[in-house]
Structure 1
C-alpha cells in the first residue's frame, strides 16, 4: 500500500493538517493541496482512502501488547530499558508516560483524522464508486476506534470533521458505550455497501466488517447480537478453514480461504527505526525473531515477545498447532544436527521459545534492513476466530445454543488433526473449553489479553493485574496535557 499524504500524528497535531500555506507566504506553492483544491476527481477520493488505510500498518504494537500484557509472553528484547514501555506493560507497572501506548493512541487518531477528512468532503463530488470508498472508510474508522476503546476505554469521539484549536480544549472523553455504538454504526454501513469478495487484494469486504462488528458486540457482552452477526459470516460468507494449519502464516498462503481481514505488507520499502509509522513491512516479524541467529530456515532478529512455558503447557498432547505457533529453540537446534545452529540471548529476558507464526524465514526476507521489511501479512481476523467467537456467543447468550457452539468449536479442533478429540460439554464446562481453544488457536496473535479482560479472568491469570485498574491502559499523559480538555486519567494511573 503506497503512501498518500504523511500527516503529523496525535489528536492535536493532526487537527491542523489543512492549514493553508497562505498563513505563511503570499502565494500558494505550486503543488499545495488542501480542501479547496482537492477532492475534485474520483482519484482524489481513492488516494485519500489509501492514506486512511495506511495507519493500519502500525498494527504490530497491538499484537505485541495483546500478548505481552497477558500470560502468553514476556517483553524480551535487548535489555529491560530497550522499549522500556513494553517491559512496564509486561510487569503491570505501566503508567501515563509510556512511549508504546502513546504511539498507539496517536496513530489510531491519525487514521481517524484521515477518514474524517474524507467524510468532511464527501459531498463535493458525485461519481460511480463513491459509496464503496465511503464504506471502506467507515470500516477503517470503526477499526481505529475499536483499537482505542479496547485499550483506553472512554476516548474522544470525533466524526466527519477535523478539530480547530478552540474545539480541541472542549472535546470531552466519550463513554465507551457511545464509542462502541458508533463503531457498530460504521461497520454496519460498511457491511451494507461492500461485497463478500473484492478484486483488489487487501481491500475491506462485507465479511471483515461483519466479523469486526461481531467482535465489538462480544467485547460488550452482547452475546445475542454477536451470535446473530457472526452466524451471518459463517452461513453466507465464502470462508472455510484452511486444511493446512502449518503453512497458514506463510506469505505463500496469503489470501487463503480462512482470510477474513488481513493487513497487507510488502518487503520493498523499510522506513526506519526513527519512523515506525513509515514502514511498509511488518515490523513484528523482525522484532520477534531469533537474536544472533545462524542456521537454516530462519533469520536473525531482536527476540521480542517471547512465549512463556505457561502458554506451551496450555496445548494438549499431540496438538500440531504447538509446533506451528511456538518454536522451541533448543529442540529445533538439536533436530538440525549435524547442521550447526547458533543464537544469542537478549538481556530483556529469555524463555527458550519464539512466536513461530511471525518469525523471519530465509525465504521470506524483505529488502535492505529486513528487520523492518517483512512481507508477511498481519492476520487480524481469521475464520477460526469467527467460529470461536460465535461458539462463545451462542454458549453465553441468555438462551444458550450449546449444540451450535459445540459444532463451531469442534470444527476448529478437528481441522488441525483427526486425532484431536471432540469436546462434548455444555454450560460452564463448554465455556472453559472455548476459552482454552481460543488461547491455543490464536496464540501469538495479540488477542489473549483482551480475551482475559472481557471475560473477567485477567486477575487470576496475570501477575500484578489490579481489578478496577488494569482492564484498560492509561491515556498518555502528554495527550492529556496537549489537549487541555480536562480529561481525567483512567482509574489507578
Structure 2
C-alpha cells in the first residue's frame, strides 16, 4: 500500500501544475495520520464521496460570471457594457494568457478530470456493491463528467493535455504533451458511450446524471465533432443519439412543455413553478434551497451581469438599482446586440413567437412612486401632457405562497403591474412612432433610440447631440431570474439547465442536414420547437418549410431558443461562422479585433505555462 504522504504530495502537485493554485503551505501541513487514498476509495462509502466530488467544479461555471464570457461572448448576440470583459467580448489586447476567467475554467475542468480519473481508476477494486453493474452505474457518472470537462477544454483551448490516469498513479508530469483535437473527441465520445450504456434511467437523488443526459451530451458532442471532418459519420451519430431521446421521451422521463391557449411551452420552461422539477432539463446544476451547495447561498448571479442602468437614468423614472426583482445593477457587464434584438427575434409587437418576451426583461416597474417633472419631460423629450403624472410604486410586502422568499419581504412588481400602471422603463425590440413615445408617461427606449442605423452599433451619446442619451438602457436577459427563487438582490436559487430537450431537437435538425441534406426531417424537428414557442391559437404561423432549412437558419433558431444558455460561441465555431466577415455583418463592434488565426481558441493560462518546464511546446495559442 502506498504511503499517505506520497498520495497527498502527488495530488497537491497536480493542483499546482494543472489547476494552478498555491501549494507551498499545503505541503507544509502534511498530516501523517491521513487515511491512505487506497483505503478511502476501495469501500463504497468513500468511493461515493469521490463520485460526489466529481460534480463540485461544475457549480462554479453555471450562474457565475467566469463561464458567461467564454461561452457566449465574442459572438453575434452580445456586446460589452462599457468595456467590461472586453478581452472575450471584443477580442482586444487584454485577451492574454493571464486573463482571469480563463484560468478559472481551465483549473475547474482539470480539477474535475483528475477526480474523475481517480474514480475510474478505483472502480475495479471498490468493495460493497452487489454487482459489477452497480459499480458501472456509479462510475458512469465519472465518465460523463470527464467527457463534459474535456469537451469544454478542447473547444476553448484546442488540443492541450489529455490524461486518463490520476496523478496519484501516473506521477508528476512537468513535461506534458499536447494531444490532437481528434484524440480528445475519441476519448469524449468513448466516455459518453460508456455513460449511455451504464447510467441508470432515473437517479434517486436530484441533480445526479441519468442516462438521458448522456444521450443528450453524446448528440451535442458528435455534432460539434463534425467541424473536424468525417461530417456524415459524426452527424449520423449525433442524429441517432438525439432520436433516442426524442422518440422515447416517456422511457427517459422527459418531455417538452406544450403550449396552451394562454402560455407557450417555451414560457413554461422558464416558469419558476417548473424550475425544480423541470421535464425538459436533461442535465441541470441543481441548487439546494437550504444552502447545501459548494458555495452555499452564493448562487445564480447570471442575471446581474446583463442588467441595464437602473441606478442612473432609471432612477429618473422610479427604478432602483439594488432591487430584489431585477438584481444588483452595479455588476452589469453585457448587453444584447442589435442583431439579436431585431434580426434574430422578430421586431414586432404582434409576433406569434413568445421567445423574445420570455428571454428578456423589457418592462421595468417603479420601486417607488415617481412624479414626472417638467425637467424630466424636457430631458427625455416628452410631451408636456405627461408632466405631473405619477408612476405608482410596484413594491409591496410579499405575502403569497409562490415565491422562495419568506412572507414580509419587500419585493418589486407586487402591485400596480396590471395594465402596466407602474411601468417605469420600456425597452421593446420593435420601433414605436416618435409622436406616440412622447405621450407615454414612462421612459421608452426602442431600437431607433438605441442603435445607429448606419453602423448597427449602440449609439454613442456624444455623436448624437440631438438625441436623448439612452446609453445603458436595454432589455436584460431574464431566463435565470424567476422571482420564485430570488434570494437576495444578487443571489438566485433556481436550477440551471445545462442541456435541455429543446436543444436536442435542434441538434437533430442540424445533424439531419449534415448527414444527407434531409431538409424534410430537419423541418419536422425545427417546427416542433417553433410551434411550442407560440400559444396554441398562433402555432400555425410558426411553421417553416423544408426548403428553408439550412445550417444558417438553424443557427438563428438556436439563438432564439438558447440565447444566454452557454452555447453561442461553440455554435459559431462548429458551423463555420466564427469569422470576421460574419461578425462584421452581424455584430460589427465584435468584428473589429477578431483574428481567425488565433481567436478560435483561447490563450493557454500563464499559470499553467509557468508550472511546466516545456512551456515552449505549448506556446500561448498565438496570443
TM-score bracket relative to the smaller structure: 0.7 to 0.9
User: Following superposition of structure 1 onto structure 2, how do residues 277-426 of structure 1 map, counting pairs within 5 Å?
Assistant: 281-289=299-307, 292=311, 294=320, 297-301=325-329, 302-313=331-342, 314-316=344-346, 317=348, 318=351, 319-329=353-363, 336=417, 338-339=421-422, 341=424, 350=472, 352-359=474-481, 361-366=482-487, 371=490, 373-397=491-515, 399-417=516-534, 418-426=539-547
Q: Deviations over 1:188-243 (max 9, x none)?
A: 11110013322221111111111111111111212122112211121224332112
What's the offset of the Cα at 1:355?
0.8
Instruction: For 2:273 and 2:247, locate their aligned partners in 1 and report how far apart those are by CA, in whole Å.
Output: 27
* Structure 1 segment 106-117 matched on structure 2, within 5 A: 106-117=107-118
Name 2:429's counterpart in structure 1: none
Residue 346 of structure 1: aligned partner? none
Give 1:342 shift.
Answer: 8.1
What is the CA RMSD across the aligned residues, in angstroms? 3.5
Question: What corresponds to 2:43 in structure 1?
Answer: 41
**Whole-Å separation in 2 of the counterparts to 1:332 and 1:191:** 50
Q: What SS does the corresponding residue of 2:476 show, helix, strand or coil?
A: strand
1:260 partner SS: strand
Describe the SS at the equivalent of 1:121.
helix
Distance between the aligned counterparts of 2:549 and 2:289, measured in 1? 45
Question: Given that residues 305 and 355 in structure 1 are in contact (C-alpha distance below 8 angstroms), is that contact kept between their aligned partners in structure 2?
Answer: no
Contact 1:468 1:491 in 2 (8 A): no
C-alpha separation in 2, matches of 1:107 and 1:207 = 24
Structure 1 residue 8: deviation in Å?
9.3
The equivalent residue for 1:477 is 606
* Residues in 2 aligned to 1:107 and 1:277: alpha-carbon distance in whole angstroms: 14
Match of 1:438? Answer: 558
Q: TM-score under structure 1 normalisation?
A: 0.84
Aligned mates of 1:478, 1:413 — CA distance in 2: 45
In terms of Rg, which structure is larger?
A: 2
Pick from 220, 231, 239: which aligns with 2:225?
Answer: 220
Deviation of the 1:103 alpha carbon: 0.6
Given the alignment of the two structures, is residue 240 of structure 1 paired with residue 255 of structure 2, yes or no? yes
The secondary structure found in structure 2 opposite 1:261 is strand
The residue aligned with 1:91 is 90
Instruction: Give the length in aligned residue pairs.
Output: 467
Alpha-carbon contact 1:214-1:226 (below 8 Å) kept:
yes
Indicate conservation of the 8 Å contact 2:80/2:90, yes or no.
Answer: no
Contact persistence 1:263–1:380 (CA under 8 A): yes
CA distance in 2, matches of 1:405, 1:179: 28
SS of the residue corresponding to residue 283 of structure 2 reads strand
Alpha-carbon distance in structure 2 between the residues aligned to 1:9 and 1:267: 33
Q: Is the 8 A contact 2:513 2:519 kept in 1?
A: yes
Residue 467 of structure 1 aligns with which residue?
596
Match of 2:463 in 1: none
Q: How does 1:58-97 map to 2 (within 5 A)?
A: 58-60=60-62, 61-76=66-81, 80=83, 86-93=85-92, 94-97=95-98
| 1:296 and 1:341 in contact (8 A); partners too | no
Summarize the alignment of residues 97-246 of structure 1 with structure 2, pairs less than 5 Å apart.
97-126=98-127, 127-128=129-130, 129-162=134-167, 167-221=172-226, 222-238=234-250, 239-243=254-258, 244-246=265-267
For 1:99 and 1:440, locate their aligned partners in 2 and report how far apart those are by CA, in whole Å.
30
CA offset digits 1:378-423 (Å, max 9, x no partner): 21111110000110000111x2322211110100000111154311
Q: More deviation in 321-330 or 279-288?
A: 279-288
Mean alpha-carbon deviation: is it higher for 217-226 or for 134-143?
217-226
Deviations 1:409-466 (A, max 9, x none): 100000111154311133x753332121111111111211211111111221251322
Looking at structure 1, the residues matched to 101 and 268 of structure 2 have their Cα atoms a distance apart, in angstroms, of: 31
Instruction: Give the TM-score, by structure 2 length.
Output: 0.68
CA contact (8 A) 1:309 1:351 kept: no
Q: Is the 8 A contact 1:10 1:105 kept in 2?
A: no
Q: Which moved more, 1:201-210 or 1:240-249?
A: 240-249
Q: Secondary structure at the match of 1:416?
A: coil
Give the stretch that moved more between structures: 374-383 or 66-75.
66-75
Q: Distance in 1 between the 2:165 and 2:23 partners?
A: 14
Q: Partner residue of 2:457?
A: none
**1:53 to partner: Cα distance:** 0.5
**Residue range with higher mean Cα deviation, 117-126 or 399-408:** 117-126
> Relative to 1, partners in 2 of residues 1:407 and 1:230: Cα closer, same or farther, differing over 3 Å?
same
Q: Secondary structure at the match of 1:208?
A: helix
Local SS of the residue matching 1:38: helix
Q: CA deviation at 1:338?
A: 4.3
- Structure 2's unaligned 5+ residue stretches are 1-7, 227-233, 259-264, 312-318, 368-390, 392-415, 427-470, 584-589
Instruction: Please name the residue that 2:461 is paired with.
Output: none
Q: Which residue of 1 aligns with 2:282?
A: 260
From the superposition, tell whether residues 193 and 68 of structure 1 become closer, same or farther in structure 2 (CA, over 3 Å).
same
